[in-house]
Amino acid sequence: MKSVRICVAAITAGVVCIAVMLGILSAAIYAENESGDSFIGLMYHQVLKDESRAGKYIITPGELESDLAYLSENGYVSVLPSQLVKIREQGGRLPEKTVVITFDDGYETGLYYVLPLLKKYGMKAVINVVGSYTDEYSRINEEGKHLSYAYLTWNEIKKLSDSGYVEIGNHTYDMHSYNGDRNGCARKENESDEQYRTVLYEDVARLSDKLQRVTGKRPVAFAYPFGSLSEGSAEIIGSAGISVFMTCCEQPCSMNRNGRIVINRYNRESGRSAQQICEEFNNAF
């Protein structure tokens, strides 16, 4: 078994999460084809105008615009998860400077701040949503009134999906939590293989089914909440129709021509520009 890679991530609620937790995982879970095309994954979360809130998981629209301008002006091509799958299936090659732009958690600012900037710079992104959050804010039904904290509604998700600039990814229906019992979608202590398979499969399939009904498109991409997973997680999630997996590991990605596609992602925190991350990426080779 290959050496273990441990990736640490957190969310705006301040929960510190460990990508490889109890039952430490082999790096084989994130196995990559070193001879394939390399690309970079960027991980964003919330985008807010209030500069006083900028930090590890919140940036300003100005920072996002600077990132997109840099990527556009320097020849980077944004590729969506579904496009990665198509390229692999057809035996194609990635653009020389490929970037996968991702936003986790499904904040409502994805429609009001992110989409206009994607359109302005001709870039595309995947927004990974949490089904239970979307249910809650769809019931509240006050779209656009609480951008400082609100999540997308199903109606807003449909608008993003129809825009041509955004793909919707699966971030679990109701496993985006850490309550001391289960960390994200990782296995609980003393949980049997069958219990874990049932719980994880039903959660992921529930959101994928809902997204297909709402958008007409079944998601191909899944982002592990907090980067947490267990041995066997990918196989279970894959059985729900997922073929692209997003981690919180800050390392280069390459196309896996024979197995699942893994997008390792660099966290874009305030003050750490996309230009800096791209330079880190280039220096890794």
Tokens 């001879």, located at residue: 35
Q: What is the pLDDT of residues 186-235, one digit of tens each?
A: 888 889 999 999 999 999 999 999 999 999 999 999 999 988 878 889 99
Task: List, for residues 82-117, the tens digit of each pLDDT value.
Answer: 999 999 999 999 999 999 999 999 999 999 999 999
Q: Please give the model's pTM, rounded to 2 decimal places.
A: 0.86
The two tokens of residue 272 are: 């750490």
> From CA 54, how far away is CA 269, in angstroms rounded?
8
In this prediction, residue 182 carries a pLDDT of: 82
CA atoms of 283 and 285, how far apart (whole Å): 5
CA 5, chain centre distance (Å): 19
Centre a 10 Å sphere on the Cβ of residue 138 and count the other Cβ atoms it contains.
16
Write down all domains in the chain, each with its CATH number in brackets: 25-283 (3.20.20.370)
Please state, in angstroms and as integers, the Cα–Cα distance from residue 151 to each residue in 4, 141, 148, following that order: 34, 11, 9
